[in-house]
Structure 1
Amino acid sequence: MPKQELEEIRKKITSLDSDLLSLLATRQGLTNQVAETKVKNQIPVRDQAREEQLLIRLIKQGQKAGLDPHYVTQLFHVIIEDSVLNQQAMLARWANPGSEKPLNRVAFLGDKGSYSYLATQKYFSRRPGELLEIGCQSFVEIINKVESGEADFAVLPIENTSSGSINEVYDQLQHTRLSIVGELTHPIKHALLVSDGVEISKIKTLYAHPQVFAQCSHFLAELGNVEVKPCDSTSAAMIVVNELRSGEVAAIGSEAGGSLYGLKAIKSNLANQKENHSRFIVVASDSVKVPLQVPAKTTLIMSTVQKPGALVEALLVLRENQINMTKLESRPITGNPWEEMFYLDVEGNIADGPMQNAMEALRGMTRYFKVLGCYPIEEISPTKIAAVNALME
C-alpha cells in the first residue's frame, strides 16, 4: 500500500513538472516579444529597478504560499538570467542580418569531455544552427582552423580565477586577424577520475593539462609521491586513463567529461580555489555589431611610446571618458626586447560616443593600437534586492 501511495504522488509531481515546463516555455515566448519591442524603441535589455520590484513581489507571494525566500530568489535569478541572455541573443541576431548559419563549425582544445568542449556546448546552445565540433591539439591549430576557413568559430580559454591568464592565447591574439565576437564564463570543477574499482591510495601516475596541475597544486602536494604527466587537454588525459585501464593511473577533469569515457570521480573539488571559473572567448573571421541596448565589452591591444608615464597617460583617457577597465595584461613583443604589448578589456561599445572618443585619443598617443573585438557581455549579474533582509526576517 505505501508503495502505491508513493507512485500516485510521483505521478502528480511528474504532471506538475510538465506543467512547469510548458509555463516556462510560454514565459520565454513572451520575453521574445519584449525583445522585439526593445529593438523598435531602443530600450536597454535590463531594467534593474523592475527586476527588483518583481523579485520583492514574488518573495512576498512565495512566503504566503509557504515557500522559502531564498528558494524563490535563486529560482527567479535563473529565470531572469535566461530571459536576459535570450533577449541579448535575439538583439544580436537582428543587428547582424545574414550571420545565422545552418551549421556552426567550431574549433576548440581537446576532444569530447574537455572543458573547452563543455564551454562550446554551453555557448552555442543559445545560437541557431547545428554544431559541428572540431577538436584540436593546440591553440595554434585552433586559430589556423578559422583563418583557413575550415571552422567558422574558435573557443579559447583566456583566463582562470585560480591559475590566472593563459599567456599562449594572448600571444596568438597579438598576431591573428580574427575578431573576438563573444565570451562566456564556465565553472571549472576538477575531479579525480579513474576506472571502476581504482583506489586513491594505489594511484602512481596522474594525467592532466598543465593548467589543471597548476590549479590543483594543493591537492597534488597532499597526494604525495605521484608522477604527474601533462597532456594537451583534459580530454586527452581521460582518453589515456580509459585506454590504460590500470589500477594505478588517474586523470583530473570534469565529472561530466569523465563519464563520456567510462571514468568515475572518486574525489571532487580539487582546485585550490573552490570558486574556480574559466573565462573563454569566441573568435571568428568577421567582427559583430553589438546593439547599444546590450551591455558590451571591448578588447584592445596597444603598445605605448617609450617614455615615463606613457601607460598611465593612456589609461587616464579611459577615466576621462568614464570607461571602466576590467582587465589589463602585458605580454612581450616578439623581436623587441623589453617592450610590452598591453591587452585591455573595457566595458563599452565601439559604436558609442565615449568609446569612439577614447579610441581616437589612444590611436594618437600609442605606437600601435588595434581593436580585437567588441562583443556582448554574457555574465549576467544577479538582481540585488535592497530590502531582501527585511523581507526574509
Structure 2
Amino acid sequence: MAELGELRQEIDRIDSEIFRLFTERAEVSSGVAAYKREHGLRVFDPTRERAKVADAERRVPEDLATYAQVLMELLMEASRARQHALLGDDADDATLRLIREARARTPELFPRSAHVACQGVEGAYSQLAAERLFRRPNITFAPTFDAVFRCVGQGLARYGVLPIENSTAGSVNQVFDLLMEHSCYVVRTTRVKVDHNLLAKPGTTLADVRDVYSHQQAINQCAEYLSGLPDVRVHVCENTAVAAKRVAESDRPDVAALSSLPCAGLYGLDVLSSCVQDRDNNYTRFACIAAKPQIFPGADRTSLMVVLPHEPGSLYKLLAKFYALDINLLKLESRPIPERDFEFMFYFDLECPVAAPEFTALMASIGGLCQECRYLGSYAEVI
C-alpha cells in the first residue's frame, strides 16, 4: 500500500490537471459566449444543461453518480456566469436596471426629517425606531400594519416604519406578507432594545391584576413571566402602546399592559414589574419602507423573495451560488405561498455591498434558478 504522502502527491497532481482543464473549459466557454452574441442566442440553454447533467451520471461509477451531477451543475453555473460577464448582458436585466436607477436618483444623505407612518399610538416601539432613523420625524399613527403600507403607497407618508423581526420571537410574518402585497421597498433598518414592563393604573397592585393586554409579539417575549401569573387572562391587541392607552382609559382597577417604560409616563401608569421579557438581550428590527426603491450610499444588505422550482436540489443550487460568490446570508426563511398547497417562498437577507461586482453577478444570474425573484431593497442598518 502506498504511503499517505505519496497518495496526497498523486491527488495534488490530479487536482493540477483538473484546474488546467477547468481553465481550458472556461476559454472554450468564452467562444460559446461570442457565438451566442453573434447569433442572438440566450446564455441559458435548459435542454442542453439537463442532458449534460444526465450524461455526468452515466460517466462515473454508481456510488459517484450524485456527486458527478452536482459537479456538472456547478461547472454549468460557472460557465453561465462567465458568459453573462463577457456578454455584458446584465445591462438588460430588469432588476439591475431598477437598482442602477435607484442608486442614481437617491440622495447621498439619508433624510434627517420626513413624514413617517407608524402603527399604533404615541409611545409605540415603532415611534422609537422612527426617532432613531430620523432626527426629526413627523409621525402619523395608523391602526394596522396594512394601513401603514397604504399610507406609503398612496403618498400620504414618505416612509413607513414597521417591525420585521425580534431576537426571541422571530419574524413578524404579517409585515413580510404585506411587503409582497404592496410592492414596497426597504430603504433602511434599525434595532431597538425592547424592555417590556407590566403597567397599571395608580393604586393597582400585582395581586389585583386579572387581565393583561399587549401585542402578540410582546406576549410571546414575556411567556415565562406570564406563566407565573396563573389567574391572569392575556388579551392580544394591536400594539404595546395601544395596550397602555387602553389600560389608562379603562375604569377597571384590575387590568394591566405589557408595554414600554416611556408609555408609563406618557399615560400616567405605574410600573408593577419592570423588564419582564424572558431574555434581556431582546431586540426588535424595524424596517423603513418606501413606495419606490431608494439605495443610499453604504447600502450593504439586500432582501430578496424567491420562489424556487418544486424539485430536488433547487434550494441547494441557489445556496451554492451565494457560496461561490462569497456572499454571506443573514437570513433564510420560508413562507407558504397563498392559494398554493404546500408550496413555499423563501426570504433572503444577504450581506454584500450593492456596489460590489459579486452583487451584480448574483443579480444578473439568479433569475435562471428561480421561478420568481422579487427584489425588496438594498439598505444599511443603523445600530
Equivalent residue, structure 1, for 2:374: 370
Between the aligned partners of 1:272 and 1:310, the Cα distance in structure 2 is 38
1:121 to 114, 131, 156: 131
| 1:207 has 2:213 as partner | yes
Query: What aligned pairs does 1:166-181 form with structure 2 within 5 A after superposition?
Result: 166-181=172-187
Residues 237 and 97 (structure 1), Cα distance of their counterparts in 2 relative to 1, 3 Å cut? same
In the alignment, which residue of structure 2 is the partner of 1:386?
Answer: none
Q: Is 1:273 aligned to residue 279 of structure 2?
A: yes
What's 1:317 paired with? 321
Would you say the 8 A contact 1:158–1:166 is kept in 2? yes
User: What does residue 242 of structure 1 align with?
Assistant: 248
Q: Residue 312 of structure 1 aligns to a residue in which SS?
A: helix
Distance in 2, Cα, partners of 1:348 & 1:101: 23
Residue 361 of structure 1 aligns to a residue whose secondary structure is helix
Q: What residue in structure 2 maps to residue 106 of structure 1?
A: 116
User: SS where residue 375 of structure 2 aligns?
Assistant: strand
Give, as a single letter, the amino acid of the residue that structure 1 aligns with 2:124.
Answer: S
SS at match of 1:274: coil
Query: Compared with structure 1, are the counterparts of its residues 104 and 323 closer, same or farther at alpha carbon in structure 2 (3 Å cutoff)?
Result: same
Is 1:170–1:331's contact at 8 Å kept on the other side of the alignment? no
**Residues 98 and 218 of structure 1, relative CA distance in 2, 3 Å threshold:** closer
Which of residues 328, 337, 343 in structure 2 aligns to 1:339?
A: 343
The residue number in structure 1 matching 2:334 is 330
Residue number in structure 1 paired with 2:361: 357
CA–CA distance in structure 1, aligned partners of residues 273 and 104 of structure 2:
46
- Taking the TM superposition and a 5 Å limit, the aligned residue runs for 1:85-164 are 96-97=106-107, 104-125=114-135, 130-164=136-170
Kindly provide the CA deviation profile for residues 244-290 of structure 1, in whole angstroms up to 9, marking residues without a partner as x: 15321111111112211111212111111121100111100222233
- Structure 1 residue runs of 5 or longer lacking an equivalent are 1-92, 380-393
> Quick check: 1:317–1:361 contact (8 Å CA) kept in 2?
no
Contact preservation (8 Å) 1:95, 1:290: no
1:94: Cα distance to partner?
11
CA distance in 2, matches of 1:94, 1:355: 17
Q: Does 1:300 align with 2:304?
A: yes
Deviations 1:7-64 (A, max 9, x none): xxxxxxxxxxxxxxxxxxxxxxxxxxxxxxxxxxxxxxxxxxxxxxxxxxxxxxxxxx
Amino acid at match of 2:127: Y
What do you get for the CA RMSD once the two structures are aligned? 2.1
Q: Distance in 2 between matches of 1:331 and 1:306?
A: 14
Corresponding residue SS for 1:298: strand
For residue 348 of structure 2, give the secondary structure of its aligned residue in structure 1.
Answer: strand
Q: Distance in 2 between matches of 1:97 and 1:168?
A: 30
Q: 1:258 to 1:135 in 2, by over 3 A?
A: same
Please state how far the C-alpha of 1:178 moved relative to its aligned partner.
Answer: 1.3
Check the 8 A contact 1:195/1:245 in 2, yes or no.
no
Provide TM-score, normalisation by structure 1: 0.68
Equivalent residue, structure 2, for 1:230: 236
Match of 1:290 among 286, 296, 304: 296
Q: Which is worse superposed, 257-266 or 309-318?
A: 257-266
Q: Which amino acid aligns with 1:111?
A: V
Measure, in 2, the Cα distance between the counterparts of 1:279 and 1:99: 22
Letter in 2 for 1:160: N
Tell me, in whole angstroms, the C-alpha distance in 2 between the residues paired with 1:244 and 1:233.
16
Output the amino acid matched with 1:114: A
CA distance in 1, matches of 2:113, 2:127: 17
Distance change (3 Å), C-alpha of 1:116 and 1:197: same
Q: Shift of residue 121 of structure 1?
A: 1.5
Deviations 1:60-81 (A, max 9, x none): xxxxxxxxxxxxxxxxxxxxxx
Q: Is the 8 A contact 2:213 2:237 kept in 1?
A: yes
* Aligned position for 2:89: none
1:103 to 1:184, Cα distance in 2 relative to 1, 3 A:
closer
Which whole-Å CA distance do the structure 2 matches of 1:350 and 1:99 have between them? Answer: 16
User: Per the alignment, in what secondary structure is the counterpart of residue 339 of structure 2?
Assistant: coil
Structure 2: gaps spanning 5 or more residues? 1-102
Structure-1 residue corresponding to 2:189 = 183
Q: Is the 2:199–2:256 Cα contact (8 Å) retained in structure 1? A: yes
Cα 1:226–1:278 shift into 2, 3 Å: same
Larger Rg: 2
Would you say the 8 A contact 1:113–1:258 is kept in 2?
no
Question: Match of 1:85?
Answer: none
Q: Which amino acid letter does the alignment assign opposite residue 157 of structure 2?
A: A
- CA drift of 1:229 comes to 1.7
Q: Measure, in 1, the Cα distance between the counterparts of 2:129 and 2:113.
A: 18
* Counterpart-to-counterpart distance in 1, 2:113 and 2:354: 29
Mapped partners of 2:167, 2:235: distance in 1: 23
Candidates 247, 269, 274, aligned match of 1:263: 269
* CA displacement 1:329-379 (0-9 Å, x = unmatched): 111111222111111000113332001111222111100012100001323
Q: Structure 1 CA distance, aligned partners of 2:113 and 2:307? A: 38
Amino acid at match of 2:122: K
Letter in 2 for 1:112: E
Q: What SS does structure 2 have at the residue aligned with 1:223? A: coil
Identity of aligned residues (%): 31
**Contact residue 190 and residue 253 of structure 1 kept, 8 A:** yes
